[in-house]
Amino acid sequence: MHQFASACVCVTLRQMDPLRELGKTLLVLGGLLALTGGFFYFGGKLPFRLGRLPGDIVHEGEHSTFYFPLATCILLSVGLSLLFWLFSRFRR
């Protein structure tokens, strides 16, 4: 009977493993969301204005404005790529 109880515990732990991974993933995504929100909230106090970097394209017409944040997109892409590379490196 003891072996059967041990086998049940192992099966139950194996079944919960995907849920544990989901929980970890949700915690990481929640942390990233909180960091992103904090960055946007305190972003105006940074020495550089994200979205107003040199290289961002702004064309002001008579009745319209076209804005394309090219340098900001590149900076965010490099930063997020580095962040996700670090996460994948530490998950192994």
DSSP-derived letter for residue 43 is G
* pLDDT tens, per residue, the chain with 92 residues: 555 555 555 555 555 688 888 888 899 889 989 988 887 788 777 777 767 788 899 999 999 999 999 998 998 899 889 988 888 887 76
pTM above 0.75, yes or no: no
What would the DSSP string read from start to end of the chain? -HHHHHHHHHHHHHHHHHHHHHHHHHHHHHHHHHHHHHHHHHGGGSSS-TT--TT-EEEE-SS-EEEE-HHHHHHHHHHHHHHHHHHHHHH-
Q: For the chain, what are the domain ranges?
A: 1-46, 48-92
